[in-house]
Structure 1
Amino acid sequence: MQAPITLIGAPTDIGAGARGASMGPEALRVAGLAAVLQAQGLTVHDRGNLTGPANPWRPPQGGYRHIEEVAAWNHGLHGAVLDELRAGHLPIVLGGDHCLGLGSISAVARHCRERHKKLRVLWLDAHADFNTAALTPSGNLHGMPVALLCGLGPPELTGIGGHTPAIRPQDIRQIGIRSVDAGEKRLVHEHGLEVFDMRTIDEMGMRHTMELALAGVDGDTHLHVSFDVDFLDPEIAPGVGTTVRGGPTYREAQLCMEMIADTGRLASLDVMELNPALDVRNRTAELAVDLVESLFGKSTLMRKQAPTRAT
């Protein structure tokens, strides 16, 4: 039986290089996220929006922008997500920029440690987000959450979940990657992240890519999806601050979501980096809602029997 779903808004662009992602939660609500999930017979509770520090829009200090404010937002989100997981709910975090993946995933990892469950994180993104202050001059923390989750960075950010590192590199699979800095690439290789970049998808197709990314997911696995909307090709999803050409098409993205749904193991979700200020008539938010609906079982295909689940 599907767990009740909880929507948690985190309206901040505190870690981003462009303003506007703070409006993402409301755009997803306007696009009908709760209604489409309820139409599938799911119970949905909207907890409203978390609050946190305003964006001071300062330059980097010590290699990081807004480190205190980012820590405050992620501590608040960690607590909210952990509370919902402990209550047996499935939290959906409505971002906000992707620095919020730090609070969300650290809570999921903590819950998995408490329940002695395996963790698998699917990071759907154009970027690896494995930067450190030594590698990026911008200091924007939305480019660093995976590195921080893996323990690379200041303790006020790496220790948010009470355990450093929050996750191991082998817990994560990155899909759709196509923009990685040279130093970041070396760091990804050094730490052994499993990355399915766009060349992989081009060569093997989305089906085989997802089979590999989901390999080993079983009944003892907590599957978390962190969906950065810039994962999608900007031709279909212009409403993000960090567009990168050459992303998945609509059908590739649908197949990705449907195969995740087929596992029956999805237990938490982030929807990040939607920027309505850069969108066209909320079309990116509507597409994101369409794809989230597929994550919860909507299929564009007609089959006489359910597809085989990942093992």
Structure 2
Amino acid sequence: MAAIRDMVAETYLSPAHLIYPMFLVEGNNIKEEVKSLPNNFRWSTDRLLPEIESCIKLGINKFDLFPAVREELKDKMASYSFAEENFYLDAIRKVKEAFPEVVIMSDVAMDPYSSDGHDGIVEGDKILNDETLPVLAKMSLAQAQAGVDIIGPSDMMDGRVGFIRDHLDNAGYTDVSIMSYTAKYASAFYNPFRDALDSAPKSGDKKTYQMDPANKTEALREAELDLSEGADMLMVKPALCYLDIIHLLKENFTLPVTAYNVSGECAMVYAAAQNGWLDYERVVAEMLLSMRRAGADGILTYFAKDFAEFVKK
């Protein structure tokens, strides 16, 4: 019987475990579907607010916001990322004013704002790790001042968690958490996300600072560093091909572990479901459950609202 199966089920999944990534654009009355990521949109702030309200009614109360920045606002130093007139920071303020109860997570990396499309400062064919850290710290502080609850450094620069933590603490933002992208792999599953933000590298790739998919124990070393530098949560990205890494971190650390069910993983399901090859509702639930079973305390997923609607039925 279903009631008995529910009673003895070892893993539980609910909307409370999910964080909803959403894309923001400058302007008004904009809701543009991302062609390579069906059922996901670029939102202007005025359209974003009612969408967040509808998510709250479904039990989704955690959101990760990402900015799609116009090309003319980008430069080599990502200076728009902490500019007062940044529409992304303005959107965060308006969301927190309208819905103070929700949790807002941010993205800290140079690539949405960089004319080079990389997560760090580029010089020739090299990424300048240490020179990038002050930029990330300024970005983080600007986001904290706008009302962000969880800072999400996705850049994978060495030492950035500690640098950001010190910068936030010195400015009085000791209660702002850091969810570090601890094990972010150089994956082929990011393309729809880069389409949404137009943030692909202009040259080269990100293999010099993102992790090699072949490596497992390296994730333990990265997690040890993040823990020592003051991270509050550890993240594995992507999720589906890295369930073993999620489990590894969960078994070895007491910090909460989150998983990012990335755009390419979701796009595959959308495409197959649209062709009638998969049962969308069942596959989404099974995929997310596998991440929870592996050890994820929270899951960032583009399926968040759809899953919450399934549960509501």
**If the length of structure 1 is used for normalisation, what is the TM-score?**
0.40
Q: Which has the larger radius of gyration?
A: 2
**If the length of structure 2 is used for normalisation, what is the TM-score?**
0.40
